[in-house]
Amino acid sequence: MAMRCPAVAELSAHVDGELGAAEARAIDVHLAACPVCRGREESLRAASQLVSDLPTLSCRESVATRVLDRLEVESRGPGLALLFRSFSAARPLFLPSLIPAALVLLAVLATVLLLNEDAGPLPPASVRVLGEVWDPRVPDHGTESNPLFPSAEVSLPRTREGGSVPERVLAEMNEGTFFLETVVARDGSVSMVTLLGGDSERARPVVDALRRERFEPVRLHGRPVAVSVYRLISRLDVWAPLT
Amino acid sequence: MTTGEMSFGSLEALRGAVSEGPLVERCRQGDAQAFARLVALHEGMVFNLAARLTGDPEEARDIAQEVFLQVYRTLGRFEGRSSLKTWIYRIVVNRCHNRQRWWRRRRRSCSHPLEELTVREEARLAAGQAGASPYEQVRQGETARLVQAALLSLSFPHRAILLLRQVEGLSCEAIAAALSLPEGTVKSRLARAREALRRSLLERVGEDGWP
């Protein structure tokens, strides 16, 4: 054997062909004679070659696109960058936030639809009064269609001379209790009497008498106004107990 | 630098032959098109090196992005004494090393999940090779997986030097320039890396299974 067994560093340099000619020749001579070093040199060479033979890994998406997107965001600020990005370029930023947003939107829509089904159809919107289409316009305050109620400013209407309910009517009134609304028109006449509570047959004479009542016109700030008056008229006959 | 007017649909066309000096100069002046071309020229090398260094293609994708962002931000400091590619090698190796230390500090096991990912990747690559029989594809995929696992068992400096030498084909002098190491240190580390790889492979396949 011409020389001592070479160190790993020398064998490695020999694999790379980086030794000087004389040094390389000396190692070649040694390897020819030393099967241990020859085997070691061959396995070093084979191991190195295995690394060289590794397939090249490639990224499935363009690194350039990702880098330029990032620089774009940094240079413009995220808000403006989102506006100017193309759809495909925007995917890495948009998609992760869009998925939960879309799920929330779907859940809200489904809930709204379910609630809507439970509610059922709404009734027709038009309202008819006495066969006429209701006029949604509110009449002026203080008119017969929209009378005022007695208050600090609107006095209770006073009956005119001979305009009150005759005593006879009250004397002949059937037993019972009647709750009545009288609308006193701007000229003091009665424009409407409504029986709000009580037997309508029994109340008829009283209602007729009330329609014939006459009042002094009521004024508000010098203007005659219609006033609504509510009255409770009651008759209770008390009999002596039977013995 | 504004990049809004750029079209990214023709990146393949950007990989054509270009002269490095004027390209770097245009990048320094804020030419977005020139920087897109620079990235397109080197992204394959950067991704492959990062993936082999980390064993994790997903990690490599993030590292590749960080590498080019660093290139963009520090291009003004690139003096041109080495080639741009040599400078990028240095950034890739440093980034991968930082990532590995970051994961280690968080006690993450580097080998197992990374190896699993690599298995899938190697199998996909082997299946994509035209002309190889299914048996050959499986054998190639298995060999690549073994070699990658053996690489990951090496220390990071050894792995980096071995990959730069065997995959990128750099000379020891170029590796020394890229990593700012004395050439003698590179040679001794390369020898130790080869010996460690040989031992690791022998442990995995045994004397009988040695290719």
Q: How far apart are CA A91 and CA A111, in angstroms?
A: 29
Residues pairing with A192 in the sheet: A183
CB A138, CB A146: distance < 8 Å: yes
Say whether the ipTM exceeds 0.95.
Answer: no
Three-state SS for A80-132 is: HHHHHCCHHHHHHHHHHHHHHHHHHHHHHHHHHHHHHHHHCCCCCCCCEECCE
The residue of chain A nearest to residue B8, with distances taken between CA atoms, is A65
> Which pLDDT tens digits describe chain A residue by residue (243 residues)?
457 889 999 999 999 888 888 999 999 999 999 999 999 999 999 999 999 999 888 887 788 888 888 887 777 655 555 555 555 554 555 556 677 788 899 999 998 888 776 556 665 655 555 555 556 677 788 888 889 999 888 889 988 888 888 888 877 877 788 899 999 999 999 999 999 888 888 888 888 889 989 999 999 988 999 999 998 888 776 777 765
Q: Using CB atoms, pick whichever of B61, B147, B202 lies closest to residue A50.
A: B147
Q: Tell me the shortest Cα–Cα distance from B79 to chain A, in angstroms.
A: 23
For residue A79, which of A65, A91, A93, A92 has the smallest C-alpha distance?
A: A93
Q: Tell me the shortest Cα–Cα distance from A125 to chain B, in angstroms.
A: 55
Residue A80 CA neighbour count, 13 Å, CB half: 10
This prediction's pTM? 0.57
Per-residue CA distances from A200 to A74, A102, A171, A231, B176 (Å): 86, 65, 18, 15, 117
Q: Using CB atoms, pick whichever of B6, B48, B60 lies closest to residue A68.
A: B6
Q: What CATH number labels B18-108?
A: 1.10.1740.10
B194 and A89 in contact by Cβ < 8 A?
no
**A contact set with B (CB within 8 A):** 7-9, 11-13, 15-16, 18, 40, 43-44, 46-59, 61-68, 70-72, 75-76, 84, 86, 88-89
Q: Tell me the shortest Cα–Cα distance from B202 to chain A, in angstroms.
A: 9
* Residue B126 with chain A: CB contacts under 8 Å: 55
Domain boundaries, chain B: 18-108
CB B63, CB B95: distance < 8 Å: yes
In chain A the first and final C-alpha atoms are separated, in Å, by: 159
Q: Using the 8-state DSSP alphabet, how is residue A41 labeled?
A: H
The continuous run of DSSP H or E covering A57 comes out as none
User: What residue ranges define each of the domains in chain A, with the CATH number in brackets?
Assistant: 8-52 (no CATH), 63-105 (no CATH), 167-235 (3.30.2420.10)
Q: Using CB atoms, pick whichever of B69, B129, B190 lies closest to residue A70.
A: B69
CB B104, CB B79: distance < 8 Å: no
- Compute the radius of gyration of chain A from its Cα atoms: 54
Q: How far apart are CA B203 and CA B196, in angstroms?
A: 11
